[in-house]
Amino acid sequence: MQPYIALALGLMENGHRVTIAAPENFAALIEGFGVAFHPLFGNAEEGMNSPEGQSVLRSENTIKLMKYFFKVLRGIKTPLRKSYLDGVDKVDFIIANLATLQITSAIAEKQNKKIAFTYFMPPVVPTAEFPLADFDFLNFPWYNKLTYKLAYAFYWKFIKEETVEFRAELGLPVLKESLVSHIGKQKILDLYCLSPALIPQPKDWDEHHKITGFLTVPKHYRENHPADEISSALTNWLTAGEKPIYIGFGSNGIGNPEKFVAMLNDILTKTNERILFCTGWGMFENLRVHENLFVTKYVNHEAILPKCKAGIFHGGAGTLAAMLRHNLPVIIISFYTDQPTWGKIIERMNLGVHMPVKQLNSGKLLSALAHVQTDELKRNAAKIGRQIRNENGLENAVNEIEKYFA
């Protein structure tokens, strides 16, 4: 959510009125930055922490998890679609996320409103320069382009039923091609809000595809902001010893909490590492009390990461941006979607270690902790951190959006 808050603030500074539409449980975070909020029906955290959601997470099976995610969305489709329609009714232009493509593109077409798409994942725009992330077994031009065609076909099969149903509900014409092809012909602005230091912009892209740089909330919005406050208990703990390792999986949760707690205990028993553990949406029981462990639900990355020496997390692009911006070498424990790809990129650039969650065990985690604290990885992280801090990702994104909607 934070990159969208950054984008909203950047647009508001240029005189635009902005509303962020998101699940109800994000209201306090968004409104805390003075951004107007429109609730989308549902509470994502409750869905993942339901008995069925927890059971699927424990399976550590990507396909099962994605099926469950879409099952939850289908179960609330009527009120969810209405909440989207109510939100779009209030605005002139739409900036949408890829996950909402089949809904937001249909509403934009029905209401004749211009739409742009934003992504925080490795590109899915065809290029001869590199293959789609999940097909990176080979790398030569014709194969690279083929990987995107295969992915598009699979994606259309996955969303076709909902797309056809919703378009019929809105009274739109029946599509004679895939939604991806339909949208592609419209030359809609695609902003990949990620660092060109990690993925440079391909030279064979059309003009409406852009890599902007990561989106970061401007510093002056964070000064004296409640989100940046650190509790006295955490402040005291941070100042009582060496810089800690940050561990957090955010809204991703962790597939098998009992297994992870056992590994956490191993770190505390076999090393002198201090651990700041942010449980996020995860549900953890029987966490031991230890002087080297501080447990909290959330922290603000901008306030806390400068006080840490390395990060262990799921590999989401927003958290990755925050880690690298603060010069932290990382351990990515990937689950699904774009996370394994970021893990591979980080390992290839020698900025950290990648482990798919199913391969995770105490021995590998302890070994990874030692590796990310070597001088070489620290130097690499500091170098990429400087590059990312010098990017004008937010300014680039705002400029592209203003030109496009103008």
What is Dmax (Cα atoms) for the chain?
A: 65
The torsion angle over the Cα atoms of residues 252, 255, 259 and 264, rounded to 10 degrees, is -10
Q: How confident is the model at residue 224 (pLDDT cuts 50, 70, 90)?
A: low
Report percent pLDDT > 70 for the chain. 93
Quote the pLDDT of residue 257.
Answer: 77
Quote the pLDDT of residue 284.
Answer: 73
Beta bridge partners of 280: none
Output the CA–CA distances (angstroms, integers) from residue 156 to 132, 149, 160, in the order listed: 16, 11, 5
Quote the pLDDT of residue 80.
Answer: 92
Quote the pLDDT of residue 124.
Answer: 92
The answer to whether residues 308 and 329 touch, using CB atoms and an 8 Å cutoff, is: no
- Flag the least confident range among 65-69, 163-167, 209-213, 240-244: 65-69
The answer to whether residues 311 and 278 touch, using CB atoms and an 8 Å cutoff, is: no
Domain boundaries, the chain: 2-217+392-405, 219-389
Quote the pLDDT of residue 61.
Answer: 67
Would the CATH topology of 2-217+392-405 be identical to that of 219-389?
A: yes
How high does pLDDT run on average in the chain?
90
Q: How confident is the model at residue 225 (pLDDT cuts 50, 70, 90)?
A: low
pLDDT at 260 over 80: yes
Report percent pLDDT > 90 for the chain. 68
The answer to whether residues 249 and 280 touch, using CB atoms and an 8 Å cutoff, is: yes
- What is the dotted CATH code of the domain comprising 2-217+392-405? 3.40.50.2000
Question: How many CB atoms are closer than 10 A to CB 98?
Answer: 14
Quote the pLDDT of residue 277.
Answer: 93
Burial class (CB in 10 A: 0-12, 13-18, 19+), 304: buried
Quote the pLDDT of residue 327.
Answer: 97
Options 3.40.50.2000, 3.20.20.60, 3.40.50.620, 2.60.40.2550; which CATH number does 219-389 get?
Answer: 3.40.50.2000
Quote the pLDDT of residue 193.
Answer: 96
**C-alpha–C-alpha distance, residues 88 and 84, integer Å:** 6
pLDDT tens digits, 285-304: 778 889 999 998 888 888 89
**C-alpha–C-alpha distance, residues 299 and 277, integer Å:** 10
pLDDT tens digits, 54-98: 677 666 666 777 777 778 778 888 999 999 999 999 999 999 998
Quote the pLDDT of residue 47.
Answer: 67
Quote the pLDDT of residue 58.
Answer: 66
pLDDT at 342 over 60: yes
